[in-house]
Amino acid sequence: MSVEAAVSAAGQAPPAFLGPVAVLIVTAAVIGFVMTKVRVVPIVGFLAAGVLIGPAQLGLVANGEAVQAAAEIGVILLLFTIGIEFSLDRLARVWTWIALGGAVQLSLQILFGAVFFVSVGMLLDLGFVLDNLMLVLVGSLLVLVVKTVTTAAAVVALRMRWRTAIATGLLLAQVGEFSFVLLTVGAAGGLAPLGLTDDGTQTVVAVTVVLMVCTPLFAILGARLNRAGGKPPAANHSDGPVNGTDGGLTEHVVLLGWGPSALELASTLRAQDIPMLLTTLNPGGAAEATAAGHQVLRGDPTKALVLQQAGLSTARLVVVAEDEPDRARTTVAAARAITGAPIMVRPLGPANVAELAEAGADHVVDLHRSSGRALVASVLHRLGRGQVAAGTSRPVVDTSRVLRYPWPQDRGCAHSGLSRTVQPAAAGCVGCLHEGTDWVHLRGCLSCGYVGCRDSSPRRHARQHAVTDEHPLIVSLEPGVSWGYCLVDEVRVDGPVRSARERSLPPQ
């Protein structure tokens, strides 16, 4: 007995949607495979397949309700795909999960995309298109012109070449997949495109399908138009040379980001004749910086090409300013992949020092624990132009410096678990500052960041803190010195290995 007969014998008929859904999925799989083999954009094949099997043509899926259900499922799968694209990229932190999630995401994207576009094709009635060909063509042309012009205008506002702007406009001229989400919601609410009920819906579907099918042609046309203008100069988005190979900047400060603190820092560096290049995607910020006489590179500072054009490989210092914490961490990681220079970061929210240090930051200016001018003071200190403590000849400690010493467990010290990523809690010895006394050499606590004077100082505040708070791990905060020490086990370890380039900079 067959499965269908067994089900009927049990008094149950197969679900009505089972056949249409099976046809849809099989068609999508076959067309996707064929399109890949003949090197044709799969979306075109999915749309064509949907048109053929739909009720208006071959009728392999003749149930109107099934077609509508398939379209709604396509919308749901589209939104679900958008969701997994976001969550997997933002939340996956372990390589195992990234690999597994990436593989699952790829399979789901192919399947969901196929089902969605086939279901869209099923909604198209070729008879309507032929009967209303002029309406469909005019609608397609209108959408093409409006979207191309508006997109190109936005690209031109970023000072891109006009050829590149038009090419970008053509590439984005189609009606996006999300229009079907709006169409479904509108229809459920009793709305109709252009007030034409079913004809309005068919017009929107026809225009969308036409533009989607033509998108590969638009892309080819735009690419040819862009190439016809010749190769753009390397510094196309900048106001001046941006690297050492063409007589531009070397041993400079690269400022990634724009805002009030970045503006103050740029002005201070310029006043002290320190070469500086600013990189930002903000058109208003770029225009303001250019008007102030600063050298500006327009681009995304998380992209390797932009960072290379900014001359990061020959930079003296990199400053990531005015970014939200997540984006700041991404920018730091991108910069660290290119340069061995010190990286200083000032996020616009609560700073997770450990995460920023893991990404490659050497200095973190926390907005919630320092004044607005702290960024300027920290940069000048890093460049060897810092202040000295009032009433002493000792330079102050840069409180943005990240103290991160991975403590070895095979050196006879039982306190490795107390080594954390911290920052100096004060610019000088906390105890001496409270008592109004002087210090001789400074030490930093690797557990909490307490700054105290060493044993050769009269008050020995570093040791007092270690005993009182049971924080025995300390590091030297003296210029040009990098080592850690356990005051209990009397074990000394070398500091983190820094690049030769950073070691050549002025001492901290």
Q: 73-97 in b/e burial notation, b at 16+ Cβ within 10 A?
A: bbbebbeebeeeeeebeeebeeeee
Distances from the Cα of 37 to the Cα of 34, 42, 50, 307, 482, angstroms: 5, 10, 19, 38, 59
Output the pLDDT for position 443.
93
Mean pLDDT of 481-507: 69
Mean pLDDT of 348-368: 84
Q: Is residue 78 part of a domain?
A: yes
Interval 383-395: pLDDT, tens: 766 555 545 556 5
* 79-88, 90-99, 314-323, 417-426: range with lowest mean pLDDT: 90-99
Q: Is residue 389 part of a domain?
A: no
Last residue of a domain, one of 382, 403, 431: 382
Interval 236-271: pLDDT, tens: 444 444 433 344 678 899 999 888 878 888 888 888
| Residue 373 and residue 460 in one domain | no
Higher pLDDT, 388 or 479: 479
Mean pLDDT of 412-418: 89
Using the predicted structure, report yes or no on whether residue 153 has a pLDDT greater than 50.
yes
| Residue 187 and residue 67 in one domain | yes
- Angstrom distance (rounded) from CA 463 to CA 281: 49
Contact 296, 286 (CB under 8 A): yes
Mean pLDDT of 438-459: 90
- Side-chain-side CA neighbours of 30 within 13 Å: the count stands at 9
Phi, psi for 251 (deg, rounded to 5): 50, 40
Retrieve residue 72's tokens: 């709604």
> Which of 345, 351, 289 is CA-nearest to residue 320?
345
| Residue 224 and residue 269 in one domain | no
> In total, how many domains does the chain have?
3
Give the SS3 label for residue 372. Answer: coil
Q: Is residue 392 part of a domain?
A: no
| Residue 215 and residue 248 in one domain | no
Q: Is residue 406 part of a domain?
A: no
Q: Is residue 31 part of a domain?
A: yes
Q: Which residues pair with residue 61 across a beta bridge?
A: none
Domain limits for position 144: 20-228
- Angstrom distance (rounded) from CA 500 to CA 498: 7
| Residue 263 and residue 223 in one domain | no
| Residue 270 and residue 204 in one domain | no
| Residue 88 and residue 128 in one domain | yes
Does this model's pTM top 0.85? My answer is: no
Ramachandran region of residue 257, left (φ > 0), alpha (ψ -120 to 50) or beta? left
Q: Is residue 146 part of a domain?
A: yes
Higher pLDDT, 446 or 169: 446
Confidence of residue 342 (pLDDT cuts 50, 70, 90): very high
Output the pLDDT for position 444.
94
Q: Is residue 499 part of a domain?
A: yes
Distances from the Cα of 137 to the Cα of 133, 149, 209, 212, angstroms: 6, 18, 12, 14
Using the predicted structure, report yes or no on whether residue 470 has a pLDDT greater than 90.
yes
* 169-178, 443-452, 455-464: range with lowest mean pLDDT: 169-178
Indicate the residue type of 161: R
Interval 42-100: pLDDT, tens: 666 777 777 777 666 666 666 556 555 555 655 565 565 555 444 444 444 444 444 44
Q: Which residues pair with residue 362 across a beta bridge?
A: none
Last residue of a domain, one of 365, 382, 399: 382
Output the pLDDT for position 499.
41
Distances from the Cα of 27 to the Cα of 30, 119, 376, angstroms: 5, 11, 63
Q: Which residues pair with residue 321 across a beta bridge?
A: 346
| Residue 252 and residue 222 in one domain | no
pLDDT, mean over the chain:
75
Interval 192-238: pLDDT, tens: 676 666 677 788 888 888 887 788 788 888 888 877 765 444 434 44
| Residue 143 and residue 54 in one domain | yes
| Residue 146 and residue 30 in one domain | yes
How does DSSP classify residue 417? G
Q: Is residue 140 part of a domain?
A: yes
| Residue 50 and residue 196 in one domain | yes
Indicate the residue type of 141: L
- Look up the CATH number of the domain holding residue 356: 3.40.50.720
| Residue 211 and residue 358 in one domain | no
Last residue of a domain, one of 382, 404, 427: 382
